Amino acid sequence: MKIVFNLTLIFFYILFSNTGFAQKSVTEKADETFQAGGYFLAIDQYKQAYGKTKDKVIRAQIVYNVAVCYRKINNYRQAEIWFRKAIKKNHTNPLMYLYYADALKINQKYEEAIENYEKYSKLVPDDPQGEHGVESCKLAQEWEANPTRYKVENMAYFNSRQSDFSPAYARDGYDVIFFTSSREEATGNEIQNVTGESFCDIFYSREDRKGKWSIPLPLGENINTKDDEGMPSLNNKGNILYFTRCAANDEEKFGCQIYSANKQGVDWAVPKAITVGSDTSVVAHPSISKDELTLYFTANLKGGKGGKDIWRIKRESAAGEWGKPENLGSDINTPGDEMFPYIHADGTLYFSSNYHLGMGGLDIFFAIPQNDGSWLVENMKYPINSPADDFGIIFEGEKERGYFSSNRDGGRGSDDIYQFSLPPMEFSLIGRVINEYDEKVISNANVKLIGSDGSTLEQVSEEDGTFHFTLKPNTDYRIITRKGGFLAGKGKETTKGLDISKEFRTDIFMSPDNVSIELEIFYDLGKWDLRPESLIALEDLVETLNDNPNITIELGSHTDYRSSSEYNRELSQKRAQSVVDFLIDYGIDEDRLSSKGYGEDQPKVVDMKTARKYDFLKEGDVLTEQFINSLPTEEQREKANQINRRTEFRVTGTDYVPKIKRRN
């Protein structure tokens, strides 16, 4: 099993917080190492102490402390194993259920994680972390099942078998990358007790014209020392570097500060510390704004919201003095850790958090500033985020691509640098033009695509009736088809509201202009008033007439054979005329319309669609009185009479010249 060490904790798990373990002499050495932040070394010391005592309480505490150490260095495979052991040994600290659940979640064992979050909630009902954990497990599964459009790729050019993380663009050309690494070429060659890896340095790599990145090289000795250096951020010109340096004293306790250095020829000048907080404070992860007047950073300063918070300092000019630190508030900062800020050129703040609802350890979030001074915070979801730690994101200017860091499975080392990009959304329309009467394809039909953005495209349907268009995002489209001998066909599609690529498929039906077309018009028994449910069909008919301005039509109404022939002709004439009156009220020229009441004289001839709908009929049947009376059931006879009761329109001419309508 791959053992994963996350070197970034040297910058944020610096000062020991009380774990509540007993201070026994057998664990005294390990406890001191733990308190100094030497979690990697403390693991071996605790394991050695375990064999020196038979006391069950002390042994349970040791197992728990080992689990906490693995948690601190982000080795969640081992953390899961050791928290499970602590639970079996009846350790009393309820946090072991929370931490065990965290490890299970990061290891993608969501159902087990939910069970242990619920156990923790029962033991500590006032702590929302249990409920948050349950919700985050559900979100993680949902996001994995429905990923965003971002594409993520491991950057083999940059990554080593050690930790590589926190990239930064070195200039506007985006062809030079600075990043943090503990690889063998780093200046500090001692092994850290915190992580078991070397101390970090800042490296850089340059992209050539063919898109190939050079072998990473360390910055000069003014920047890289025997201490830890990392988390670079540069101004747009690339001539001022901000970074973090953490210096160790004899007790292995660390204080971190932000430094700035000016470009000096091909090298960098001696950096100067930006004083924020005390010598033992954790002040790290700088990100300079585009105008160079605001510096965002991570710190554990007094007045924070919890663990590590994101703060900022401002100045009046690029050469001015920095002001007092300002906490970004509870929209951003939580009782957990918020780190690795990156301020986008558009003012959006990107950061990582292990408390806001996310998928695993650290998740990347973006926060949009609001007019009232608040922030709107959202998770970047999968695949930018994963069940592991994801952090240190940067963007290539205004483009939706760049780099971030992660210790997810499948990487080359501990922390790796990943490239991400958001491919443009692609929308296409594939359609067919079909004869509505016999469902055969129609070739050589003119197909016009009209977009709400004012665009218009035209094609001719192929021999198989097909047509193809490329669509734009956030656009409504109308499709209109025309061909001699047919009424115009039409359809609609929209790409508005879509955040994933899509291929649309549609069939556009065209009715021949030499057949009668039935309308879904409804009347009460013995009446000719149009019922409200007829409105849809009537409005469609208005659109058909507007789409085909040169046709004239006859509205024909039919009844069944019941009642007298004279009565049926009179009733059907009134019904047909009611449709004509409606169309005139809707602005259709009266000269284009005629009405005819056929009564029972023209029984329905069953077409393909009717035969499909009614299994007791076949295409070509004529629904005469004799035929209907021959049907075996009353239900079938009633349905046949109902089919005969219909209103249709047929084209009577195709050379009508529309009148010029003048305004009053």
Supply the pLDDT for residue 21: 45
What's the CA gap between 218 and 227, in Å, rounded?
A: 14
Rg over CA atoms, the chain: 37
User: Can you read off the two tokens belonging to residue 657?
Assistant: 């010249």
What's the CA gap between 321 and 324, in Å, rounded?
A: 10
Q: Is 487 helix (H, G, I), strand (E, B) or coil?
A: coil
Beta-sheet pairing, 552-558 with 593-599: parallel
Q: Which domains does the chain have, with CATH numbers?
A: 7-145 (1.25.40.10), 151-421 (2.120.10.30), 427-510 (2.60.40.1120), 517-653 (3.30.1330.60)
Question: For 554, phi and psi rounded to 5 degrees?
Answer: -110, 130
What's the CA gap between 507 and 509, in Å, rounded?
A: 6
Sheet strand arrangement including 326-327 = 283-288, 294-299, 309-314, 326-327
What's the CA gap between 18 and 27, in Å, rounded?
A: 15
Question: To 5 degrees, how large is the angle CA 564–CA 567–CA 571?
Answer: 140
Nearest to 495 by CA among 477, 478, 520: 477
Q: Is 435 helix (H, G, I), strand (E, B) or coil?
A: strand
Supply the pLDDT for residue 242: 98
Q: Cis ω on the peptide bond leading into residue 383 (within 30° of 0)?
A: yes
Nearest to 474 by CA among 503, 494, 454, 501: 494
Q: DSSP of 137-165, one letter per residue?
A: HHHHHHHHHS--S-EEEE-TTT--SS-EE
Per the listing, tokens 């026994």 go with 24
User: Can you read off the two tokens belonging to residue 152?
Assistant: 């993520």
**What residues contact residue 304 under an 8 Å CB cut-off, 6+ apart?**
311, 327, 333
Low-confidence ranges of the chain (pLDDT < 50): 1-24, 250-252
Q: DSSP of 98-119, one letter per residue?
A: HHHHHHHHHTT-HHHHHHHHHH
User: Can you read off the two tokens belonging to residue 207?
Assistant: 């992209």
What's the CA gap between 304 and 175, in Å, rounded?
A: 37
Q: Which amino acid is at 626?
A: Q
Supply the pLDDT for residue 307: 86
Supply the pLDDT for residue 144: 95
Nearest to 599 by CA among 656, 642, 556: 556
Q: Quote the pTM value.
A: 0.73
In this structure, is the dihedral angle defined by the CA atoms of residues 110, 99, 407 and 301, taken in order, positive or negative? Answer: positive
Supply the pLDDT for residue 527: 87
Inter-CA distances, 157 with 217, 419, 621, Å: 12, 11, 75
Beta-sheet pairing, 489-494 with 240-248: unpaired
Q: Which amino acid is at 209?
A: R
